[in-house]
Amino acid sequence: MHQNALASLLLGAGAGLVAAHPAPSWWKESKHHHGGFPSGPSASTSTAATSSYSSYSLASGSSYSSYSLASGSGVASPTLRGYAASSASGVAYSTGTGVYSYSASSVVSVAASTASAVAVASSTAVVSASSSNSTAAGATEGEVASVTASSSCTFTDLASAVAGKADCTDIVLSGIVVTAGETLDMTDLTDGTTVTFEGTTTFGYSEWDGPLISFSGTDITIQGADGHLINMGGEQWWDGEGSNGGVTKPKGFYAHDLTDSTITGLNIKNTPIQCFSINGASNLKVIDVTIDDSDGDVTDGGHNTDAFDVGSSTGVYISGAVVKNQDDCLAINSGTDISFTGGSCSGGHGLSIGSVGGRDDNIVENIYIADSTISNSENGVRIKTISGDTGTVKNVTYTGITLSNITDYGIVIEQDYENGSPTGTPTDGVPITDLTLSDITGSVASDAATYYILCASCSDWTVSGVDLTGGSASTDCEGTPTGVSLC
Ligand SMILES: *[C@@H]1O[C@H](CO)[C@@H](O)[C@H](O)[C@H]1NC(C)=O
Ligand SMILES: *[C@@H]1O[C@H](CO)[C@@H](O)[C@H](O)[C@H]1NC(C)=O
Ligand SMILES: *[C@@H]1O[C@H](CO)[C@@H](O)[C@H](O)[C@H]1NC(C)=O
């Protein structure tokens, strides 16, 4: 029976007797003698509820006969014995000292104490009445007072997680091995759901577009338990060609249509290509996320491993990110009210806006990128817009940025991109206005350029405390706004 159906049966008093429900096939006494686990009832009898109790009658598979759980003001421990399970997903069982919650074949939690049982299932929680009342009609063994959409659901395999997610508001993804070619699909979660990655999450090899992980919902918290790792296994795909060629590689983590949500403390390793695609998000915080693709440098295989690609979002606040990769640490293609603060980027292409232009949404506005370091990267600060297209880059601040060992450009702003490459001829369709560059310091590699500006429409820039050493400013600068003398 589906948990919601069970819930409605148990919640409403007077709903009458429900037909016996067969026990899940795994419900065999012998499987469940874990330490401290009490022995089950010996063939208790099913009892009919009276009109004052709705009840749920549960039949067992082997040595258990049916058992009735009624709602109401009912009887709880110490005599609660039995289970309440949604479709093969769990069991509640008590002998008076507690209620044990099961997932498949193992104890996943022990909740509650005498006479205040809680319980059940990976997708169901049964809360017993607080007082014992063995005289309640229809309840010879026990009864429960209410069933709520799960307080806790721990999943250890992909299929159960995807099937059970809608009934859970506290999901634990424990050591999930994601089948090759499938998505760890956590889209359309119930409002207010928390999802915790626990243990190591791994992904099978398949040449496909992905994504490996996908989330959507409102008021969602996505977090990592201590010691967890989301290992995307990118080395299986890496061929040095990224998304430009070679084998088809899956995208990493879709954070699409997440509203009023938080992604925090995730530890991600070896993304095949791009990691986070943040799109259609509204008020999304991304806090203390680590993305380590540094193995891709050792093998020379990692390519286009952007850490955070942001598009068509309003209110995305990324803080404390630690990124080691081989492409943009941040790339904002469109969106408003986006910040990146307290981050550390290494190995990639820097903190970028763009390329802007040529999409459905080409507005980049109110961007705050601050207090971050960029090292061992091709670029530090970068804004690029697409040649011949239209759009807006407005009110962008880069402040408190420290660069070291930048191999191409310390600060590069150019309006000449086409098919992913610079053309050398800027166009004015995507003006870059109200740009603030302040307190950008550090050094570039000796053969790199500190500054390169190629503009056809750039105005109202405020530059202060920008002081990069090493290399030299590009001699090819063009269209630098009045009052700006970087090169
Ligand atoms: C016990 O159940 C009976 C039958 O429903 C009810 O009349 C009585 O008030 C209950 N007692 C307590 C203490 O809940
Ligand atoms: C400019 O962007 C900042 C975020 O960096 C925001 O706080 C501010 O309100 C914006 N200014 C305007 C005029 O919208
Ligand atoms: C500078 O960064 C490049 C990668 O962009 C790296 O290959 C090189 O080893 C770094 N040099 C130093 C001195 O760290």
pLDDT digits (tens, 9 = 90+) for 326-383: 999 999 999 999 999 999 999 999 999 999 999 999 999 999 999 999 999 999 999 9
The atom number, within ligand 3, closest to the CA of 375 reads 2
Domains and CATH numbers, the chain: 154-478 (2.160.20.10)
* Three-class secondary structure of residue 244 per DSSP: helix
Q: What is the pLDDT of residue 474?
A: 79
Confidence at residue 141, expressed as pLDDT on a 0 to 100 scale: 32
Q: What type of residue is 465?
A: G
Which protein residues touch ligand 2 with a CB less than 6 Å away?
366, 368, 395, 397
Q: Which atom of ligand 1 is nearest to the CA of 129?
A: 14
Tell me which of 405, 409, 446 to substitute to probe ligand 3's pocket, judged by most ligand atoms within 8 Å of the beta carbon: 405
**Distance between CA 54 and CA 75 in Å, rounded?**
13
Q: What is the pLDDT along the chain (487 residues), one digit of tens a residue?
A: 333 333 322 222 222 222 223 332 222 222 222 222 222 222 222 222 222 222 233 322 222 222 233 332 222 222 233 333 322 222 333 322 223 332 222 222 222 222 223 333 222 333 333 333 332 222 233 333 333 333 458 899 999 899 888 878 889 999 999 999 999 999 999 999 999 999 999 999 999 999 999 999 999 999 999 999 999 999 999 999 999 999 999 999 999 999 999 999 999 999 999 999 999 999 999 999 999 999 999 999 999 999 999 999 999 999 999 999 999 999 999 999 999 999 999 999 999 999 999 999 999 999 999 999 999 999 999 999 999 999 999 999 999 999 999 999 999 999 999 988 999 999 999 999 999 999 999 999 999 999 999 999 999 999 999 999 998 877 789 999 999 999 8
Q: Concatenated DSSP letters for 117-155?
A: -----SSEEEEE-SS--TTSTT-SS--EEEEEEBS-EEE
CA 366 – ligand 2 centroid, Å: 5
Q: How far is the CA of 131 from the centre of ligand 1 (A)?
A: 10
Task: For ligand 3, say whether the CB of 399 is within 6 Å of any of its atoms.
Answer: no
DSSP bridge pairs for 440: 401, 466
Residue 405 beta carbon below 6 angstroms from any ligand 3 atom: yes
What positions carry a catalytic annotation? 349
Return the H-helix or E-strand segment holding 10. Answer: helix 3-11
Torsion of CA 217, 223, 229, 230, to 10 degrees: 10
Ligand (nearest to CA of 336): 2
Nearest 5 degrees, angle CA 331-CA 333-CA 337? 90
Does this model's pTM top 0.85? My answer is no
Question: Which letter does DSSP use for residue 167 in this model?
Answer: G
Residue 144 is encoded by which pair of tokens?
């429960």
Tokens 């803080």, residue located = 319
| Rounded-to-10 torsion of CA 355, 359, 361, 367 | -10
Cα 460 to averaged position of ligand 2 atoms, centre (Å)? 14
Q: Which ligand sits nearest to residue 365's alpha carbon? A: 2
Nearest alpha carbon, ligand 3 atom 3? 376
- What residues line ligand 1, using a CB cutoff of 6 Å? 73, 131, 133, 135-137
Are residues 366 and 340 in contact, defined by beta-carbon separation less than 8 angstroms?
no
The label of the residue with tokens 């053309």 reads 423
**Is the alpha carbon torsion for 242, 292, 318, 157 positive or negative?**
positive
